[in-house]
Amino acid sequence: MRVRRREFLRLATGGAACAAPLRAAAQTFPARPVKLMLGFPAGSPPDVVARLIAPGISERLGQQVIVENKPGASANIASAQAARAEPDGHTILMIVATNTINQTLYPNLEFDIVRDFAPVASVMRIPNVLVVTPALPVSSLPELIAYAKANPGKLNFASSGSGSSPHVTMEMFKAMAGVEMTHVPYSSNYFPDLLSGQTQVLSAAIPGAAGFVRAGQLRPLAVSTARRSEFFPELPAIGEVVPGYEASGWYGIVAPKNTPAAIVETLHRAIGAALADPGMKARFPDFGGSDFISTPAEFGAFIVDEVVKWGKVVKSAHITAQ
């Protein structure tokens, strides 16, 4: 289609007018404190990580980074608000695996985690550990699979709710291992029922289960990442027994779409430098976590992959939000 010269000039002038404020913002960034939003309550693991890295980012940016908690609706309230923020780098959002699950779990979201955000930096990757109650007569992952196949539907696995990370990671395990287990969602602490044997299986982030494992109250069988975890080096990866299986918790930071590339790069460098600090790296084991190093483009591709992966699980398992 041919564009008339007058129309071309009108579009070009309008584009330049829109671009000018963004260029100016990039040159002066950061002009005020930066707000780091997250959709989880104070004291939650994402909150602890956000408050741990915020001072290091502040130091590199020369402006305060303020953590703002907006819990509710499985982190969707904070995400929607961040998506509407000015794309000037002064509002950024910490996202986790839950955000990519939500893209399919909630069909009527006000935002799209891929389309409406610019990836800035990955922060940390945290394996899940697959544990069972000691009363269950299995001591390895192959034995669990064999037991589940011999007793279809009789094993119960706990989760923190329909569509939660512990839920979808187990649904993927069920499908790939060819076993049947019964999902038991909890709105509160599921560990008492697991310890008493009312539920028998759980896939949980390492920090949440590690204390029970060390105390001998839960038996660990495998970790969920593609490779073995430094936190439990003696445990196999699930993928060693169920080829192709990989799942993990993770943290990362995004900005509203149309945030200038120069601002994204400034934030990326500041976050990367904060994470590379030896004092910060020494804290990673507290979370059972490991480095998750990537460029913004690589992190963006990872987010897309996660949306696709968990979307398939949500649809195939007919998971609905509750």
Model confidence pLDDT, tens digit, residues 242-267: 999 999 999 999 999 999 999 999 99
Domain end position, chosen among 211, 241, 271: 241
Name the more confident of 17 and 282.
282
C-alpha distances out from residue 151 to 138, 146, 175, Å:
13, 9, 16
Please determine, for residue 15, whether its predicted confidence score (pLDDT) is greater than 80: no
Residues 217, 106, single domain; the answer is no
Q: Which of 240, 223, 228, 247 is nearest to 313 (CA)?
A: 247
Mean pLDDT of the chain: 91
The reply to whether 256 falls in a domain is yes
* For the chain, percent of residues with pLDDT exceeding 70: 92
User: Looking at residues 96-119, what average pLDDT do you find?
Assistant: 96
**Prediction pTM value:** 0.88
Count of CB atoms within 10 A of residue 312's CB?
13
Would you state the pLDDT for residue 225?
A: 87
Instruction: Grade residue 187 by pLDDT with cuts at 50, 70 and 90.
Output: confident
- Contact criterion met (CB below 8 Å) for 206 and 193: no
Q: Which of 29, 51, 46, 72 is nearest to 252 (CA)?
A: 46
Residues 267, 293, single domain; the answer is yes
Please determine, for residue 105, whether its predicted confidence score (pLDDT) is greater than 90: yes
pLDDT in tens, 127-181: 999 999 999 999 999 999 999 999 999 999 999 999 999 999 999 999 999 999 9
Residues 135, 67, single domain; the answer is no
Residue 130: exposure state from Cβ atoms within 10 A (0-12, 13-18, ≥19): buried
Residues 283, 236, single domain; the answer is no
Would you state the pLDDT for residue 166?
A: 94
Please determine, for residue 109, whether its predicted confidence score (pLDDT) is greater than 90: yes
Residues 115, 134, single domain; the answer is no
Would you state the pLDDT for residue 234?
A: 93
The least confident of 19-23, 39-43, 175-179, 298-302 is: 19-23
Q: Which of 63, 219, 42 is nearest to 141 (CA)?
A: 219
Residues 63, 114, single domain; the answer is yes
- Contact criterion met (CB below 8 Å) for 173 and 203: yes
Domain end position, chosen among 216, 241, 266: 241
Query: Looking at residue 294, which CATH number applies to its domain?
Result: 3.40.190.150
Please determine, for residue 282, whether its predicted confidence score (pLDDT) is greater than 90: no
Residues 114, 254, single domain; the answer is yes
Domain end position, chosen among 183, 218, 241: 241
* For the chain, percent of residues with pLDDT exceeding 90: 79
CA distance 63 to 59: 7
Would you state the pLDDT for residue 12?
A: 42
In which domain, by residue range, is 223 found?
127-241
Residues 254, 117, single domain; the answer is yes
User: Looking at residues 290-304, what average pLDDT do you find?
Assistant: 94
CA distance 318 to 212: 31
Would you state the pLDDT for residue 283?
A: 86
Task: Count how many domains the chain has.
Answer: 2
CA distance 304 to 24: 30
The reply to whether 137 falls in a domain is yes
Residues 110, 17, single domain; the answer is yes
Please determine, for residue 18, whether its predicted confidence score (pLDDT) is greater than 80: no
Please determine, for residue 126, whether its predicted confidence score (pLDDT) is greater than 80: yes
The reply to whether 26 falls in a domain is yes
Would you state the pLDDT for residue 11?
A: 40
Instruction: Grade residue 21 by pLDDT with cuts at 50, 70 and 90.
Output: low
Please determine, for residue 67, whether its predicted confidence score (pLDDT) is greater than 90: yes
Instruction: Grade residue 23 by pLDDT with cuts at 50, 70 and 90.
Output: low
The reply to whether 321 falls in a domain is no
Q: Which of 253, 250, 285, 290 is nearest to 270 (CA)?
A: 253
- Contact criterion met (CB below 8 Å) for 161 and 187: yes
User: Looking at residues 4-17, what average pLDDT do you find?
Assistant: 45
- Contact criterion met (CB below 8 Å) for 314 and 105: yes
pLDDT in tens, 199-228: 999 999 888 899 999 999 999 999 998 888
